[in-house]
A and B are shown apart, each in its own frame.
Chain A
Amino acid sequence: GAVVSQHPSRVICKSGTSVKIECRSLDFQATTMFWYRQFPKQSLMLMATSNEGSKATYEQGVEKDKFLINHASLTLSTLTVTSAHPEDSSFYICSARGDRGYGYTFGSGTRLTVV
């Protein structure tokens, strides 16, 4: 079946630094990638949608300069949290739609802690 590999699973960084999260589709081409943020005991909030080779579309209220999304290939999308602050600490999950019918495949998530 379709698999999305998300790395790292956990990361701790200092306030003011940047962190990159990668999502790779292992056995299919991810034409669209979605990035979600999830606070403890809460639902998933869509941050942005990216299509391969084009700029990401951000949801209202999401700072595009802070959360940089790159989808340069059909198998790789990255989310970079720039100048991270403690309030950016959260669980980030990617989801890919590809060329194998209508479905979404989720990565395993990244727990970001900014100290």
Chain B
Amino acid sequence: AQSVTQLGSHVSVSEGALVLLRCNYSSSVPPYLFWYVQYPNQGLQLLLKYTTGATLVKGINGFEAEFKKSETSFHLTKPSAHMSDAAEYFCAVSDQGNTGKLIFGQGTTLQVKP
């Protein structure tokens, strides 16, 4: 079975500061990992994903994440927060497409203060 834990349900940063959203996963098979962003009353937008290959993954809007197998982590970072980054962020894991299910973490609300 697979699971995802996002540490910190709420993260607050100042505009221009580093953003770090934490995600740890559990998987019995090599995982595919995803980060999504959700704005109020909207669907999910893919920020980035890791399937195979390079463990440092760059996504949209300046976000990146690093797959660390030894730590079972896939933390999301952005060097400098913008006000527009305020949203809900979800980490998700999939079982390499065997069932295709995406299992989501609890979500982290990112607040960006001026």
| Interface contact A32-B100, CB-CB below 8 Å | yes
| Interface contact A109-B42, CB-CB below 8 Å | yes
* Given A6-B43, A102-B51, A103-B46, CB of A43 within 8 Å of CB of B90: yes
Partner of B32, one of A43, A102, A108, A109: A102
A38's nearest neighbour on chain B, judged by CB, is: B38
Contact of B97 with A by CB under 8 A: yes
B109's nearest neighbour on chain A, judged by CB, is: A41
Partner of B101, one of A46, A93, A108: A46
Chain A nearest CB, measured from B113 CB (Å): 20
A46 to B97, CA, bound (A): 15
> B residues engaging A (CB < 8 A)?
32, 34, 36, 41-46, 49, 51, 90, 97, 99-107, 109
Chain A nearest CB, measured from B43 CB (Å): 4
A6 to B45, CA, bound (A): 14
Chain B nearest CB, measured from A61 CB (Å): 15
> A residues engaging B (CB < 8 A)?
4, 6, 32, 34, 41-44, 46, 49, 91, 93, 95, 97, 102-104, 106-109, 111
| Interface contact A43-B104, CB-CB below 8 Å | yes
B9's nearest neighbour on chain A, judged by CB, is: A41
Nearest 8 pairs of A and B residues by beta carbon: A106-B43, A108-B43, A106-B44, A44-B104, A43-B104, A109-B43, A43-B106, A43-B107
| Interface contact B97-A102, CB-CB below 8 Å | yes
B45's nearest neighbour on chain A, judged by CB, is: A106
* Given A42-B106, A43-B106, CB of A91 within 8 Å of CB of B100: no
